[in-house]
Structure 1
Amino acid sequence: MASVIEDVYEIEKLKARYSNAVDGGWTGFTPHDADAVLALFTEDGAWDGGAFGGGQGHAGIREYMATGEAIMPFAFHHISNPLIEVDGNRATARWHAVLAVTAENQAKLHVGIYDDQMVRTPDGWRFELLSFTLAATTDLPKDWTVF
């Protein structure tokens, strides 16, 4: 059985893999990898994007990702301040997030909170619920450039 410290580390890596899988839209980086995202969720997991929508189960999450990529072709997550609580084979985590995105031909900066629920599976920790609450948003200057 893993120690709580090992569990926390694995959950931090799960969230980092999430960011790497959903980010994209610039040269040299594979964008919006739905298969990689789905591998991070349980089969019946849910992605609740709050104001941005969401999906239930792998099919719903895949559909949500396709919509999200069309709406936000560029996405870059910075996630910090993890508060992770492990209770046996279940865990909760709260994270602060700063997201730079493009949407509707406008660069935007979003800040918010992720509240996640994870479960330990035979393949490691997986999201049962990934939930984002938008706290604030602003448009970035028109001369903002994506490389």
Structure 2
Amino acid sequence: MSDKFDVVETHSRYCDALDRGDADDLVAVFTEDAVWYCKPMGTFEGHQGLRTFCKAVHEMTPGSMRHTTSNHVVDVTGDTARLRCYLTGIVWDAAKGVAPQVGGAGRYDAQLVRQDGAWKIRRLDVELYEVGDNLDERLTTS
């Protein structure tokens, strides 16, 4: 059970670092050759790419975004692991009087490896659910 907890903890550290805009803490949970991918945002590779990604996200939402994750499913096989979970992004802008609200939702699918006794993310795929994907229409016609 400890490996599963440690995998979730590694992912939680990723979310925390991204929300704080801390590129050093962010790259600390990734392998040197890591890949981060999200269709609308692109692909960021390696620690330098992840630093660029972290800076861009923090500039878009300086301290006004929080990731929450749930329904973690972790499969561990030796020194590799896969984590899948849901994500909800909470955003706000106090300066503009915008209260916290859901800014996005989706899924994470992460591949991790154990390196020097610690779990590191090798690949992180993010699927963001599209706004206006005709969900209301699909629900009423079912």
TM-score tier by shorter-chain length is 0.7 to 0.9
Q: 2: distance between equivalents of 1:102 and 1:54? A: 26
Alignment counterpart, residue 118 of structure 1, candidates 83, 100, 112: 112
The equivalent of 2:127 in structure 1 is 133
Classify the secondary structure of the residue corresponding to 2:40: helix
TM-score normalised to the size of structure 1? Answer: 0.77
Cα offsets for 1:61-91 (capped at 9, x unmatched): 1111111212232210110100111111111
2:119 alignment partner AA? W
RMSD (Å) for aligned C-alpha atoms: 2.0
Q: Matches of residues 22-37 of structure 1 in structure 2 within 5 Å?
A: 22-23=18-19, 31-37=20-26
How many matched pairs? 126
Q: CA deviation at 1:49?
A: 2.9
Largest Rg, 1 or 2:
2
Could you list the runs of 5+ residues in structure 2 that have no partner in the other structure?
133-142
CA deviation after TM superposition for structure 1 residue 121, in Å: 0.4
Q: Which residue of 1 aligns with 2:6?
A: 10
| Percentage of matched positions with identical amino acids | 29
Q: Structure 1 unaligned runs (5+)?
A: 24-30, 139-147
Structure 1 stretches of at least 4 aligned residues deviating more than 6 Å after TM superposition: none
Q: Which has the higher helix share?
A: 2
Aligned residue number for residue 52 of structure 2:
63
TM-score w.r.t. the length of structure 2 is: 0.80
